[in-house]
Amino acid sequence: MIRMNVERVRLWVGFAIISFVWGSTWLAIKIGLGSAPPFFAAGIRFAIASSILFLIVRTRRLHVPVTPDAKKLYLVLGFLSFGIPYALVYWGEQFIPSGLCSVLFAAYPFWVAIFSHLLLRNERLDPFKVSGIILGFAGLVVIFSGDLEWSGTSALLGMAAIMTSTIIQGFALIMIKKYGQPVNPFAMNLVGMTIGAIVLLALGVAFERGRQFVFNSAAIGSILYLAAVGSVIAFVTYHWLLKRIEAVYLSLTSFINPIIAVILGAIVLGETLSPMVFAGSGLVLAGLLAANGRQLYGKIHARL
């Protein structure tokens, strides 16, 4: 019983880490884009992150498997979790507000739910999950209803880039769930982020040569934070959680991240929390409870 309670606490702590850290990364990306072009900014982020992971793997003497399944996993991570999706996210956020990015990325659980239903026998969709995802997404729309503005072709292309990223990352998460169980989270992220960094830096060389870099304190702080905290800590925790809970439940953190971003804006930047924030947050909470309704119902029914 004590061991089960400790494991449950670890799961909740991991969930909180993901929610808080990724709630702050949209703003950090936006700050970094003011100093560096998108592909180079993302590539440098993952190059630094993979260097940190290399030191951790070497220090802890962790095994990095090279089996056929492990190689497939690394390619999925490198291209479909880090390389292509983050190229789209960084490129798209140049043209639209970070709040709108958060709402668009909240389509992520929809795709995770669809792919998990199709590809994972033990993680099928049920009415609880569907209602939870719908309520959570509705809550984010309420929160950012006053900020969902865009204009021009560039903004539409930016929105399309974010949406495409959610589809790719949703599929990648299910592939990682399917094939990543035997691989240590530090090892899988080391190889995946290394491949992702190569892809992103190659895109930078191909499309961003001659663009200006401004290495001021904001740029350096943004990249280091995104590398060490937003990448190493967050992704290792994320993939550790993925081994222990269903992919759909884990993807629901994308509903919490924007709320954290709004709260941080109020604390750090003195921004006002409107009544819509509280109303939308209530819907998000209702969505999280609804998504877990099958388990809650099972526990109540067992006690009766």
- Give the mean model confidence (pLDDT) for residues 92-104: 80
The domain segmentation of the chain, as residue ranges, is 17-122+148-251
Residue pair 82/195 in contact by the 8 Å Cβ criterion: yes
- DSSP codes, 67-118: SHHHHHHHHIIIIIIIIHHHHHHHHHTTTS-HHHHHHHHTTHHHHHHHHHHH
**DSSP collapsed to 3 states, 220-272:** HHHHHHHHHHHHHHHHHHHHHHHCCCCHHHHHCHHHHHHHHHHHHHHHHCCCC
Q: What are the residues whose beta carbons fall under 8 Å from the beta carbon of 255, sequence distance 6 or more?
A: 106, 109, 136, 137, 139, 140, 284, 287, 288
Flag the least confident range among 43-47, 115-119, 275-279.
275-279
Extract the tokens encoding 27.
């703003």
For residue 107, the model assigns a pLDDT of 87
Write out pLDDT tens, residues 64-86: 999 999 999 999 999 999 999 99
The pLDDT value given to residue 72: 92
Measuring CA to CA, how many Å separate 149 from each of 68, 174, 259, 280?
A: 46, 32, 19, 18
Position 43 pLDDT exceeds 80: yes
Could you give the angle at the alpha carbon of 25 between the alpha carbons of 193 and 62, nearest 5°? Answer: 30
Mean pLDDT value of segment 100-107: 81
Work out the percent of the chain whose per-residue pLDDT is above 70.
90
Whole-model pTM: value is: 0.87
Least confident window among 142-151, 191-200, 208-217: 142-151
- 135-182 pLDDT, tens digit each: 988 888 887 776 666 667 788 899 899 999 999 999 999 999 988 889
Q: Indicate whether 52 pLDDT > 80.
A: yes
> What integer best gives the mean pLDDT of the chain?
86
pLDDT digits (tens, 9 = 90+) for 246-268: 999 899 888 888 888 777 767 76
Instruction: Select the more confidently predicted residue: 149 or 104.
Output: 104
**278-299 pLDDT tens trace:** 788 888 888 888 887 655 444 4
Q: What is the pLDDT of residue 295?
A: 56
Q: Is the confidence at residue 125, as pLDDT, over 90?
A: no
Position 303 scores a pLDDT of 40
